Structure 1
């Protein structure tokens, strides 16, 4: 029976490439009895064919039919694979946003569903029961989800780690290359970006068979056609500095794109504000936004530096006088440095909101600005949903779509079900209570409301991710400002004075 099932599944999946309508028809004919020991596998197979076939043939009702099966399977068995299938199914029902003035309407109408898809992808990638083949696909799809909302920094993180999980993943390479092209033509990269696109194209060419296995023959042909247009990449110079290598490996440079970063520390963080344009009648000297951004940037660099130093326990003085609590808890300035760096870098999110409130003139009192509440109005009395503030909506509709990515990131960080909400909880605990890191934890540890306990090693990964969250928020802020400046230049009837400040050089 197992052999028959495997042959049937292989045949049905192959049919998706040659005749997706027939594959859907055959899948719909599968009768599943709950007492069949293969009922779960049959539901997953049927659901997969319906979701993938529905995407190819653009039949929403077919996708929904497959999604219903995925829900049933997930409720029975919430494994990583089933969480991924569910996220994939929800993502398929949403589809990609249109490239026209309906873009924002689509994003708002599908906001809850897209958040659910991200939640299931996030849950799946953290499960211990998934293999690398599935993990790399989850990360690739997560990158695509984030990219659709202009969350390009996080999207490239996902594709980067997808390739780190499976260096043969030509689909992730293709997605990253396409995104880099878009960023380059919108002024968010350097000429060296083309070298990285060539490297990604090389990955596609070398691993064409793997691309076919991930996407099917039709999609793989399009991807290979793209890769064939790029030359062989130049040899990449190895970085010898361990600090810079760490920044590159963890994607912590404050740059427009991180795929090609300089090996010179002084030029590593080259993200800057674009030239500002002001009507001649309103020009009042150097805009304060430049000062605010300088502090934002230097605070991020300090938090990153503190995190790096915290990794080296020998860097810190050996301090005596801590009581041994005999519970695996760790104490010392190096441990506190991790907690402090995590909190400090997430504090920058509110400052990002302050800069946005000032630049876009959103009208909130500076002292009351919050990253979580700035963007949306009070909940609608009927739908209970929080619509975008009218001024924010108008800014996005004018062409500043990166601002929506920042708002969506805010939702993932602020909402209890958001994929980044754990960071907010840790930050609040570190600010108002105590966080204690442990080498090991017992289930029998007594709970105290004043203390949040975390395992040391997983917390280190949380600290690194917190840096990436703030880096992404700052990247989106700069892109949103750049998009607004471009719109202002193209639509203003007034004479605009352009102001671009020179590099600041500190005298020691």
Structure 2
């Protein structure tokens, strides 16, 4: 008998977990895919083992995710690709999807240690930011700090994200700089923690960040009593480049637009991209308002039909909730995700891709299926490559195996089949004729759809902005006018 035979089942599981960590770290140091794969297999076995203590399961999944990120990077190197180049990352979109999903799972695992959850969210944010998905990355860093406020590495990485936005972004610069300064100070104050979890070199990197001295606002909130504005702010749904709050104290705070000059065409005084962005913004705002009103009505009616609803509905005796309020949530979720397809249509037109407009949709547009090449042609070194990567990778996560698995399924069910809300047992979104969705799940789904669409809209603005030269055209997007004042 070996020594291992005398170990209790829990001790064996713990030993396997420790070995998985050692193997993954060593594999990363020596760029050994075999070692990393072995460590990942050990971690997966721990996560699935009935003898694993509850506290060890999320930590094992954390190891599985980290191994996945490492293997994706090594795969790119093995193929001779420069993994850091966005144009190359477009060629292996699927490789990092499962690790992203697992990291998010661990981040939301309430029984896991706060440090593990926070580190998983930081890792998720890092890879999102690396792909140009700064909107989602910022939210993940914020969640990481909310879970474990002493995570100096999350604070430093968030500051780095904001520093890059100051380089490429043109909106809300004073505000972004102020939030950047705040996180630089936070990262430096948490240096000891950063050394412990990320190493001395990373801590020194955050120590070297310099403040801007910005006097901008950390956040512009809504007016007192503005429940809608507060809801938009809390859920990060403002269509603006502000990372906190609404971005302005003005009544019209959905200010996101193109900031570079756009070339005109012979038969148009104003490039079509402006009309497209106006329509996309307006439809998003309608979906957002509809969602808010539906949520508000459900809260006011305490789970019953709202007093303002004029419908008479049959009692189906299954704890279902019918009426305008839940229907508003289904329609708002669908309307928000419909904007995604129109973003692809606008991109097809603006970048002269040449696809038939009626055949363009978000899920099939960004990468050509047969060749695996991006449909939009950009210079290899263009900063817009990262925005293109952001859109393509976001699309890969609106998938049953992605970060947003219910988004497209619920949207399609609500469009083509019968979906109703319930307080009882639900089926979730399905491909069957009838689907029932629990009220909290439906509320979360509509907010997620709005957040995803907001991110896509802002990434599309980056794509357009960063593909232009200031001297290239003669119409500046900042020259906006209120609707109706066209003189």
Same fold per TM (> 0.5)? yes
Provide Cα deviations, 1:244-270, integer angstroms capped at 9, x if missing partner.
222222111111242364352534212
- What SS does the aligned partner of 2:372 have? coil
Residue 393 of structure 2 is aligned with which of 385, 404, 408?
A: 408
Q: Distance in 2 between matches of 1:178 and 1:229?
A: 11
Contact kept in structure 2, 1:275 and 1:498, CA below 8 Å: no
Q: Which residue of 1 aligns with 2:142?
A: 160
Cα gap change, 1:71 to 1:453, in 2 (>3 Å): same
Partner of 1:254: 239
Deviations 1:298-345 (A, max 9, x none): 111111112222222249514452222222211221111111111100
User: CA distance change for structure 1 residues 254 and 34 in 2, over 3 Å: closer, same or farther?
Assistant: farther
Separation (CA, whole Å) in 1 of partners of 2:88 and 2:24: 20
SS of residue matched to 2:153: helix
Query: d(CA) in 2 for partners of 1:88 and 1:448?
Result: 33
SS in 1 for 2:437: strand
Within 5 A, what are the aligned runs for 1:127-142?
Answer: 127-142=109-124
Distance 2:60 2:83 in 1: 35
Shift of 1:363: 0.7
| C-alpha distance 31-272 of structure 1, shift in aligned 2 (>3 A) | farther
Q: Is the 8 A contact 1:274 1:481 kept in 2?
A: no
Aligned pairs for 1:230-269 within 5 A: 239=221, 240=224, 241-259=226-244, 261-269=246-254
Q: 1:214 aligns with which of 197, 217, 228?
A: 197
Q: Does 1:43 align with 2:28?
A: no
CA deviation map 1:85-112 (0-9, x unaligned): 2111111233499997971464145433
1:372 is paired with a residue of what secondary structure?
helix
Q: Distance in 2 between matches of 1:222 and 1:59?
A: 27
8 Å CA contact retained: 1:199, 1:232:
no
> Which residue number in structure 1 is paired with residue 350 of structure 2?
359
The CA distance in 2 between the partners of 1:54 and 1:32, in whole Å, is 24
TM-superposed deviation, 1:499: 0.9
Return the offset for 1:233.
Answer: 8.3
Could you list the runs of 5+ residues in structure 1 that have no partner in the other structure? 1-29, 380-385, 490-495
Q: Would the aligned equivalents of 1:248 and 1:258 in 2 still touch at CA under 8 Å?
A: no
Give the alignment of 1:362-377 within 5 angstroms: 362-377=353-368
Q: Rate the CA distance shift 1:431–1:216 in 2: closer, same or farther, 3 A.
A: same
Quote the residue 1:272 is aligned against: 257
- Greater CA deviation, 391-400 or 328-337? 391-400
**Cα separation, 1, equivalents of 2:415 and 2:380:** 33
Distance apart, 1:64 and its partner CA: 3.6
Asked if the contact 2:87–2:380 (Cα under 8 Å) also holds between the matched residues in 1, the reply is no
Contact 1:136 1:165 in 2 (8 A): yes
Aligned residue among 458, 474, 478 for 2:457: 474
Q: Distance in 2 between matches of 1:463 and 1:265?
A: 26
**Distance of 2:264 and 2:426 partners within structure 1:** 63
The corresponding residue for 1:331 is 322
Residues 445-484 of structure 1 mapped to structure 2, 5 A cutoff: 449-484=432-467
Match of 2:423 in 1: 439
Give SS of 1:92's match: helix
Instruction: Name the counterpart of 1:13.
Output: none
Of 183, 186, 189, 2:168 maps to: 186
> How much does 1:463 deviate?
1.1
| C-alpha contact (below 8 Å) 1:47/1:66 kept by paired residues | yes
Q: Secondary structure at the match of 1:453?
A: strand
Contact 2:264 2:271 in 1 (8 A): no
Aligned to 2:483: 506
In 2, Cα distance between the equivalents of 1:353 and 1:337? Answer: 25
1:168-215 residue CA offsets vs partner (Å, 9 max, x unmatched)? 322222111111111111134412211101221232234334434432
Match of 1:452, SS state, is strand
Equivalent residue number for residue 68 of structure 2: 90
**Structure 1 103/205 Cα, relative in aligned 2: closer, same or farther at 3 Å?**
closer
- Equivalents in 2 of 1:287, 1:105: separation in Å? 27
CA distance in 2, matches of 1:355, 1:144: 29
Length-normalised TM-score, structure 2: 0.84
CA displacement at 1:397 relative to structure 2? 5.8
**RMSD (Å) for aligned C-alpha atoms:** 3.3
> Do 1:73 and 1:82's aligned partners in 2 also have CA atoms closer than 8 Å?
yes
TM score, norm. by length of structure 1: 0.81
Give secondary structure in 2 for the equivalent of 1:191.
helix
Q: Answer whether contact 1:43 1:70 (CA < 8 A) is retained.
A: yes
Equivalent residues of 1:136, 1:166 under 8 A apart: yes
Residue 202 (structure 1) aligned to one of 173, 178, 185: 185
**Unaligned segments of structure 2, at least 5 residues:** none
SS in 1 for 2:131: coil
Shift of 1:271: 0.7
TM superposition shift of 1:277: 3.6
